[in-house]
Amino acid sequence: MSGISRRPFLASALALIGVAAVGGGAYEFGLFRKHFSKYGDLLNALDNPDNAEQVGSAVLATMPDFDAVKTAGDLRTRIGKKSLADVLIADAQANRVIEASGWVLPETLALLCALAAKS
Amino acid sequence: MSAFVDARAVPAGSTIETDLAIIGGGPAGISLALALANTPIRMLLLESGGTDLDPKTQALYAGSETGVHYLPLEASRLRYLGGSSNHWGGWSRPLDPSDFEKRDWLPHSGWPFSRAELDRYLPRAQAMIEAGPMIYDRQQIWTDEDGAPIPLAPGGVYTSYFQFSKTRDSDLPTPFGHRYGGDLKRIANLQLMLHANVTGLRLAANAQSLDRLDVATLSGRKFTVKPKYTVVAVGGIENARLLLASNDVMAAGVGNGNDLVGRFFADHPIPRQTATLVKFDGKLAPYYTDQQDAANAHYRAAFSPTEAFKAQRRILGSLTTVENSVPLDELGKAALATTAAALGVDASQARAFSLGCGMEMSPDPDRRFTLSSERDALGMPRLKLHMTISDDDLARYRDTMKELGRQLLVAKTGMIHLDRKERAEWLSVMDWGNHHMGTTRMHVDPKQGVVDANSRVHGIGNLYVAGSSVFPTYGSSNPTLNLVAMTLRLAEHLKTVFP
């Protein structure tokens, strides 16, 4: 009985290890992209690089003169040691919002996404 | 109880004398007759139609249009007892106080009186349209069971409430003709005549008073009414037509010495899918999307710009409703996920909702009715409408939605997508409220208004106009409640002019 039941168990365990390896690799790949970006210190605050790049492309379409280096410097100053959520709330409170393909976004978030799309 | 009189049976060529002629049996005309019941004033109410829709009578409304696409003139209103209340939606809300104010940035704005003046008549008007107690934004209308409104951070948009005319035992809003027909028959000092089309307002030779009315039926009968006073209450479009077409003494039409009659026409643009609201937690109280019952009222929520926001940002009124759940495209999903995560909010249950609105137009003298060369079955000139809508009006509404989005972000409750930007996009989803306003605007200065503060036609001592055609600006609230209140105010004035 035990020999019959061991085979599917092993197969399942191997499958799980494989899924974990692939998923972990994707995760590491995401981190890799972030860490090797010139703006990794800023972009690490974003949840998903692919989503950020997609939004960022929409933001860049409204900013033909976007200066990534200057924007990154400004954002480092603006964010400092504060939480990103607090910075975004402060943006919206101060009416610093940017419209990207119709989406009304806090300015800091929009600029971070634009950096992600540029990096 | 006396039956209604059929004008087709009135002897041809006869003359009927009365104290007060009320032309039109819609919400304004009927409200006026009810308000003047049991007074010494002998009233004759002349209604073009019968008690139900008749295609030949309805066809008298047909006209033509240029400019921005608008509704066919014969389809946008109803010509029988009860008028357009026979197909209204029952949406009700008082005009805002700022609607009455002179706004320096808005040309042609300013009523001759404040909202406080209308407040005297709104409760009775509310009763006449059967919309339950006047709650609106004065106190909490929603129940704990339905849940609280969407949390919004302080700012330029707030959750406002419509009430609906349907508190009696029917799903239909109050149709004034059927609802009040029995009451009208019981008014001893009222004679109500059906199938009676007024085809001319005939002035005295000095053009300072109205002498008589030409009346005709589609059966070919013609007779005359000689009133001491007359109130024209045939709707926001037809009021102008009757004045313009009565041009035998005043060449430009009655009350049109300053070329204002028919100008400043307005409706409420109702663009669909103006924006998409994403609620991070996916929860939405039911009164945002559907009428709910509470406190003997039917109500529904809408987003409205605050009075302060309108003043500071030079914004016109609007009432934005949540329509239905909609899917997000890939960019929308990315924007939602990125924003919610950055705010530290769980958006795993997020839902998106389409928004629609009714918005205010800025006054425009070139948005106007003129007489065409075509004539209807009674020989009256038909109307030609030139319709406009300004880019500024669309941009102002868009700014309001952007402000709503900002407040949602601050509150960490959701976000907004602005669905329309270019003019062509707006016009592609444009519908209209069938709220005809402005064509005989009210102003104390005859050079700026057709009627004075009492709704009397400037320069003509015994002629008045009732209905939303006298609104000099329009607000975003649906007009019926407000025009009934205005009519009740007129009734109080008329009681003072009779000895």
B334: CB partners within 8 A, 6+ apart: A48, A50, A51, A52, A54, A55
Question: Which pLDDT tens digit goes with each residue over B293-346?
Answer: 988 899 999 999 999 999 999 999 999 999 999 999 999 999 999 999 999 999
Chain-centroid distance of CA A62 in Å reads 20
Phi-psi region of A94 (alpha: psi -120 to 50; beta: other; left: phi over 0): alpha
Q: Which residue of A has its CA nearest to B415?
A: A104
Q: Which pair of structure tokens corresponds to residue B225? A: 């009414």
Cβ-based contacts of A96 with chain B (< 8 Å): none
Name the residue with higher pLDDT: A10 or A105: A105
Residues B270 and B273: their CA atoms lie apart, in Å, by 10
Residues B5 and B63: their CA atoms lie apart, in Å, by 29
B429: CB partners within 8 A, 6+ apart: B271, B272, B273, B274, B420
Q: Which pairing describes strands B91-92 and B157-164: parallel, antiparallel, or unpaired?
A: antiparallel
CB contact under 8 A, A89 and B331: no
CB contact under 8 A, A92 and B334: no
Q: Confirm or reject contact between A60 and chain B (CB < 8 A).
A: no
Phi-psi region of B394 (alpha: psi -120 to 50; beta: other; left: phi over 0): alpha
Question: Which pLDDT tens digit goes with each residue over A18-64?
Answer: 544 444 444 444 444 544 478 999 999 898 999 999 999 999 999 99
Instruction: Please tell me the predicted confidence (pLDDT) of residue A33.
Output: 52
Residue of A97, A104, A109 best to disrupt the B interface, most CBs of B under 10 A: A104
Residues B398 and B275: their CA atoms lie apart, in Å, by 9
B91: CB partners within 8 A, 6+ apart: B162, B164, B478
Minimum distance, in Å, between the CA of residue A11 and any CA atom of chain B: 32
Q: Report CA-CA distances (Å) from A70 to A94, A111, B438, B463.
A: 21, 11, 53, 70
DSSP, residue by residue, B418-433: E---SHHHHHHTEEE-
| Tokens 């295609």, residue located | B55
Task: Tell me which DSSP letter residue B216 carries.
Answer: E
Q: Is residue B167 pLDDT above 90, yes or no?
A: no
Banded model confidence at residue A88, pLDDT cuts 50, 70, 90 = very high
Instruction: Burial-class residue B37 by CB neighbours within 10 Å (0-12, 13-18, 19+).
Output: middle
Minimum distance, in Å, between the CA of residue A108 and any CA atom of chain B: 10
Q: Confirm or reject contact between B418 and chain A (CB < 8 A).
A: yes
Chain-centroid distance of CA B450 in Å reads 18
Cβ-based contacts of A58 with chain B (< 8 Å): 331, 335
Q: Report CA-CA distances (Å) from B494 to B230, B463, B491.
A: 10, 11, 5
Mean pLDDT of the region B131-137: 94
Mean pLDDT of the region B233-240: 98
CB contact under 8 A, A99 and B402: yes
Option in B331, B342, B419 nearest A54 (CB): B331
Residue B92 contacts residue B478 (beta carbons within 8 Å): yes
Q: Any idea which of B161-170, B194-203, B490-499 has the lowest mean pLDDT? A: B161-170
Residue B367 contacts residue B387 (beta carbons within 8 Å): yes
| Tokens 């409408």, residue located | B385
Q: Confirm or reject contact between A115 and chain B (CB < 8 A).
A: no
- A-B C-beta contacts closer than 8 Å: 89
ipTM: 0.93
Q: Is residue B146 pLDDT above 70, yes or no?
A: yes
Mean pLDDT of the region B92-117: 98
Residues B117 and B417: their CA atoms lie apart, in Å, by 39
Instruction: Please tell me the predicted confidence (pLDDT) of residue B38.
Output: 96
Mean pLDDT of the region B78-88: 96
DSSP, residue by residue, B339-380: HHHHHT---TT-EEEEEEEEEPPPP-TTSEEEEEEEE-TTSP
DSSP, residue by residue, B235-293: -TTHHHHHHHH--SSSTT-TT-TTS-TT-S-B--EEESS-EEEEETT----GGGTS-EE
CB atoms within 10 A of CB A57: 18
Please state the φ and ψ torsions of residue A3, each to the nearest 5 degrees: -65, -35
CB contact under 8 A, A106 and B341: no
- pLDDT more than 70, % of chain B: 99
Minimum distance, in Å, between the CA of residue A13 and any CA atom of chain B: 29
Mean pLDDT of the region B77-105: 97
CB atoms within 10 A of CB B483: 25
Q: Which pair of structure tokens corresponds to residue A33? A: 């992209």
Residue B318 contacts residue B399 (beta carbons within 8 Å): no
Mean pLDDT of the region B195-212: 98
Span between the terminal Cα atoms of chain A, in Å? 57
Angle at A114 between CA A111 and CA A116, to 5 degrees: 115
Q: Which pairing describes strands B91-92 and B15-23: parallel, antiparallel, or unpaired?
A: unpaired
Q: Any idea which of B141-145, B214-218, B312-316 has the lowest mean pLDDT? A: B141-145
CB contact under 8 A, B406 and A92: yes
Residue B365 contacts residue B239 (beta carbons within 8 Å): no
Is B179 strand, coil or helix? helix
Q: Is residue B202 pLDDT above 70, yes or no?
A: yes
Q: What is the residue-averaged pLDDT of chain B? A: 97
- List beta partners, residue B312: none
Question: Which pLDDT tens digit goes with each residue over B27-75?
Answer: 999 999 999 999 999 999 999 999 999 999 999 999 999 999 999 999 9
Instruction: Burial-class residue A24 by CB neighbours within 10 Å (0-12, 13-18, 19+).
Output: exposed
Banded model confidence at residue A93, pLDDT cuts 50, 70, 90 = very high
Q: In 3D, which of B295, B270, B319 has the Cα closest to residue B131?
A: B295
Cβ-based contacts of B331 with chain A (< 8 Å): 54-55, 58, 101, 103
Instruction: Burial-class residue B71 by CB neighbours within 10 Å (0-12, 13-18, 19+).
Output: middle
Is B66 strand, coil or helix? strand
| Tokens 């952007």, residue located | B402
Q: Which residue of B has its CA nearest to A46?
A: B342
Instruction: Burial-class residue B307 by CB neighbours within 10 Å (0-12, 13-18, 19+).
Output: middle
Q: Which residue of A has its CA nearest to B334?
A: A51
Banded model confidence at residue B76, pLDDT cuts 50, 70, 90 = confident
Mean pLDDT of the region B134-148: 91
Instruction: Please tell me the predicted confidence (pLDDT) of residue A21.
Output: 47
Residues A77 and B484: their CA atoms lie apart, in Å, by 59
Q: Confirm or reject contact between A110 and chain B (CB < 8 A).
A: no
Angle at B426 between CA B422 and CA B428, to 5 degrees: 115
B80: CB partners within 8 A, 6+ apart: B25, B47, B48, B49, B50, B51, B52, B53, B54, B57, B58, B86, B177
CB contact under 8 A, A104 and B344: no
Cβ-based contacts of B417 with chain A (< 8 Å): 102-104
